[in-house]
Structure 1
Amino acid sequence: MSDTTESRFERGYRVLGEIDGDGGHKVVESLADIAPDFARYLIEFPFGDIYSRPHLDLRAREIATIAALTALGNASPQLKVHIQAGLNVGLNRDEIVEIIMQMAVYAGFPAALNGLFAAKEVFAAAQPVGN
């Protein structure tokens, strides 16, 4: 956890940057003209409150998030952001593929297929990382 003088928004914006870099900030900025309050909630609650809790590291949180978004089966844009975030926090491509494949057992083949296609797109757009 960080300095207690840091507001929820400040903490959330910092953690969002650690996880998603410019991609996360672009999502928030894209909401500014339609739902600025929602953009603030997006920073404060998930990133300022939940992601910054002490008992899981960011890598573990991204494993859980990739699994959950894959299982939903209807959140491809968010899944792509979090696949990139997984790479940003130390997951490798093989681990991400295994997380998504594991979801076939619990969420079905269509959800896992959609997740694998999302991963394929992210990997194709990402800089080579030697995996």
Structure 2
Amino acid sequence: MRKKIAAILTGIFLSIFSMTAVSQAQPTIHSGLNVKQQGIVTIAAFTAKGDLERLKTALNEGLDAGLTVNEIKEILVQMYAYCGFPRSLNGINTFMNVMKEREAKGIKDELGREASPLPAGKSSIELGTEVQTSLIGAPASGAIYTFAPAIDEFLKGHLFGDIFGRDNLDYQSREIATISALASMNGVNNQLRSHFNVGLNVGLTEAQLRSLITVLETRVGKQEADNATGVLNNVISGRTR
């Protein structure tokens, strides 16, 4: 009798354990983005918004999720191309303070690797042209580049050559950061639309992009998420015609 009761109790325990395990696993399975990528979303979004208190929390969460120190530095540096030097510098200063606090607590974070030197014998513009073309799927063209050739040169040489050409952050991670930053800013839907397309070009799935928007809704704001959803819906509709 005792053996039967023990067996029944064991079965109940295993069933509860299995249901709990499945329940805990579901956010990861269905979220689209892994925890490190979700960390990139909030770090980029709060840097772009200039919300340093919430950025501090996001930086700690990103490190705890497994982002390396150099990966986060790279995200914060890249942000200046999209939300300006002031917010990028404020983000870097916030990260410096976070690192000091964590070191004082005895927390050892993984440094991660530095970027490799840019290819020898190739100018930043040449490299950037290659990178830009691969990201958007065709050579960049348009009236804006004819009207202001300098912006074409700066985009190719600096953004896509000097920044995107650094290999210590992959293109998917860079696009997650860029999309998250743009989605957190007002009046940049044209650029957000372009980078949703680039994100799909570099292998991010629709599910991952919708997961990114879910992170924005739960952590940043419903208005930002609703706007991003509308832009993404237009992008997906345009690509499936």
Quickly name the TM-score band, shorter chain normalised: 0.7 to 0.9
Match for 1:25 among 111, 127, 140? 140
Match for 1:48 among 153, 161, 186? 161
Report the structure number with the largest CA radius of gyration: 2
> Which residue of the partner structure matches residue 95 of structure 1?
208
Unaligned runs of 5+ in 1: none
User: Which whole-Å CA distance do the structure 1 matches of 2:187 and 2:210 have between them?
Assistant: 18
The DSSP-based 3-state class of the residue aligned with 2:167 is coil
One-letter amino acid of the structure 1 residue matched with residue 128 of structure 2: G
User: Which whole-Å CA distance do the structure 2 matches of 1:117 and 1:17 have between them?
Assistant: 26
User: Which whole-Å CA distance do the structure 2 matches of 1:93 and 1:58 have between them?
Assistant: 16
Q: TM-score, normalised by structure 2?
A: 0.49
> Which residue of the partner structure matches residue 192 of structure 2?
79
User: Which whole-Å CA distance do the structure 2 matches of 1:31 and 1:40 have between them?
Assistant: 12
User: Which whole-Å CA distance do the structure 1 matches of 2:220 and 2:148 have between them?
Assistant: 32
Contact 1:66 1:100 in 2 (8 A): no
One-letter amino acid of the structure 1 residue matched with residue 130 of structure 2: R
CA RMSD, 1 decimal: 1.7
**Sequence identity percentage:** 30
Unaligned runs of 5+ in 2: 1-115
Question: How many Å apart are 1:3 and its aligned residue?
Answer: 2.8
User: Which whole-Å CA distance do the structure 2 matches of 1:59 and 1:33 have between them?
Assistant: 29
Runs of 4+ in 1 over 4 A off after TM superposition: none
Q: TM-score, normalised by structure 1?
A: 0.87
Contact 1:73 1:110 in 2 (8 A): no
